[in-house]
Structures are given as C-alpha cells and as structure tokens.
Structure 1
C-alpha cells in the first residue's frame, strides 16, 4: 500500500486490533470474528484511502468500531478526526481506544448525525458503511465547509446511487482501491458541491 508507517504506528494498529477483538465479543462491533480477516477487511480496507485524503479536519460518520477513523488517525497524527456514532456501546469502546492509544487527534461524538452542529465545520465527511450516497449527502451536508468534500468508501462503482444525486453535487474523483488480500471490489468516490450563482 502506498503509505509508510513507523514501527510505533504499526504497534498502535496492532493494539487497536487487540482491543477490537476483545470488545467485539461483548459489544458486537463487527460480524467478522477471525483476526486475519479483520486485518484485511477492517485495517487494510480503512488504510486503502489514506494516501488519497486531502485536508486537516474530518468526520467519520457512522464510525461503528472506529473504521476507518481510528486507523486513519493513527496514520495521520497531525490531522483531526471526529468519530460519530449513535450507538453508545460503540462510542464507549472508542473512548477506551482513544485513551489506551493516546490519540489526541481524535474526538468522539455519541449522537445522531442530524443532531450534531459542529464548530468549526469539517473539510471532509468520510463514510465507510453509510447507506446510499444520497442519504450521506442529505444527512451530512450541514457538517462540511463550503468547499468541503464527501469521501464515500464503496464496494462496486455505485452508478445507480450517483444518478440519484442532485445536479449541484459532482464527482471530483473516483478511485479503484487495492486492498491486499481482498478479492472484492472497492472504490472511493469523492464528491463536492458546486457553487450555485
């Protein structure tokens, strides 16, 4: 993968995975139980967009057990990541991860996205397992700056979902993602809002 991690960052990712496995038994953070599968489908999948991110302040909406927010925060200690989820047990896990790993660049919000009124606004909204692109934009457009972007992690290229978007949203970029050990298709769709005069 086109990112360089220090030994300390790799150790932090391993520590996160250990916590994830431990808490998953009681908190049901993921249906995946096999640690090797977690490395591929959680850690590496999350890191597959790391080299493409532009900006300093991001919100990971519907983060669940912290994916992709925690791996990205470990990779980029100088960027800020807010992890939002409405499930209290998942955010309790995330508070534990933040403390255990000393992630000063992570903020955790336990609330519904519609109720969150951030100050300042974010440069990017990241979503890995959100519903449709239309739902992502409808529910999250109040979170980003005027020139902010939506970073949507998807499986196969979402032609149908893109056709449902309002005309003033445009695709800035679409990237085929390569996840080591994963045969399934993955892509990243970057969307932005056109200025309407």
Structure 2
C-alpha cells in the first residue's frame, strides 16, 4: 500500500481546489482528507477503487469530483446512483453542506463503507441506500440525479427517471464524450448541455452531460 503523506496530499488538494475557484474552508479540506484516509484504508480490504496510490486518489477522485461541484449550484436534494466508494456523493456532501445527498449502490460492502464515512465524519446531510435504483421509492423526488461512470446514459435515465423531480435534471460524469450514448437516450429525454471539465493535474478528458425531460427544442 502506498504511503499516506497527509501534509503533501493536503497541499495538492488545497492547490487544486484553488485552481477550481472553490471556496473550501480548512475544515472542509480536513474532512476531504479524512475521507481519503478512510478510502485508502478500506480499499486495501474491500477493493473500492482500482486506484491504489493516495496521491493519484487526490487527483483522480477528489479533484475530479470537486470539478463538478459548480454544476450543482442551486440543487438542494441530490441522488448519486452507483455511488461506489462515495464519488462524487461524499465529495459533494462535504463541499456543499447545505445540500442533501443520497447515495445508492447494490454492493453492500460499498454502502457499509459509506455509512462508516458518514459516522466518522459526522455528515448529517447524507443518506445511504443498499438496493437497485429501480426499486428506490423516495418520499421527496430529487432536483438532480448524478452518476460517475455508472452506466450507459439510456440505462441511467430509464432506471432512475421515476426519482427525478419535475424540472429536475440528470448530471452524468463521463470521461471521453459519449456521443453514441447521447444519441441513444430514450424518447422524452434530451441532452440539454455538455460541459468539458479541466481537472487540475489530470491529463484526461472529463465531461458533464446534463439531461432533461422533454424533446430537444
């Protein structure tokens, strides 16, 4: 297991957040580092992510998720589908404590980890569900439903569309622009916007795909 040099990792994270123009407090940076430490520790046993090196985790996980935070401006109730190790859900919940973030995954060891993170970091604004998203019934529908490399866009929309509030939108986090997937969206949904992201320290393509109900104008 790669060494966890907290001071060095904190500097990388702080500088990356500055480049992204995110106003994170020292306490929020500390929470993100506590989360990273837990992810690194649990990953040794539970294989939550293929990325093993904490320095790469800062860039490929924390900063990658933080780059999407501005897209959630105005959102109050968010669902992260296929949340896995908590990306972007945990990162969103820390960066936006005013926002409620629900995370759902079918794999119990992953949701056990998310529940542990919630407890250890005292994140009162998150909820964790272990089930298929098609089976989730929410008392209040979501403003935004997001996922990071979860599934084909059509499946993502079909499986979780019943949970989206009227006027809400999907924000899918993808790598290379998935043009074929975008063309296969089910009837009644369209790509409202595509946003390329620049992740500090990451030499790879990242895109946000915004999907809304209604036919393309």
- Give the TM-score, by structure 1 length: 0.96
Correspondences of 1:143-154 after superposition (within 5 Å): 143-154=163-174
Q: Is residue 11 of structure 1 aligned with residue 27 of structure 2?
A: no
Match of 2:99 among 69, 73, 79: 79
Q: 2:143 — aligned with what? A: 123
Shift of residue 129 of structure 1? 1.6
Distance 1:162 1:91 in 2: 29
Q: Is residue 46 of structure 1 aligned with residue 85 of structure 2?
A: no
Distance 1:145 1:130 in 2: 21
Correspondences of 1:25-174 after superposition (within 5 Å): 25-53=44-72, 54-174=74-194
Q: 2:212 — aligned with what? A: 192
Distance 1:160 1:66 in 2: 27
Q: Over aligned residue pairs, what C-alpha RMSD do you find?
A: 1.0
Asked if the contact 2:158–2:186 (Cα under 8 Å) also holds between the matched residues in 1, the reply is no
Asked if the contact 1:117–1:143 (Cα under 8 Å) also holds between the matched residues in 2, the reply is yes
Asked if the contact 2:78–2:144 (Cα under 8 Å) also holds between the matched residues in 1, the reply is yes
Distance 1:168 1:144 in 2: 13
Distance 1:116 1:170 in 2: 23
Task: Report the 3-state secondary structure (helix = DSSP H, G, I; strand = E; otherwise coil) of the residue aligned with 2:65.
Answer: helix
Distance 1:69 1:166 in 2: 25
Shift of residue 167 of structure 1? 4.0
- Give the TM-score, by structure 2 length: 0.88
Task: Report the 3-state secondary structure (helix = DSSP H, G, I; strand = E; otherwise coil) of the residue aligned with 1:33.
Answer: coil
Q: Which runs of 5+ in 2 are unaligned?
A: 1-19
Shift of residue 166 of structure 1? 2.8
Match of 1:178 among 177, 195, 198: 198
Shift of residue 146 of structure 1? 1.6
Distance 1:166 1:92 in 2: 33
Asked if the contact 1:2–1:51 (Cα under 8 Å) also holds between the matched residues in 2, the reply is no
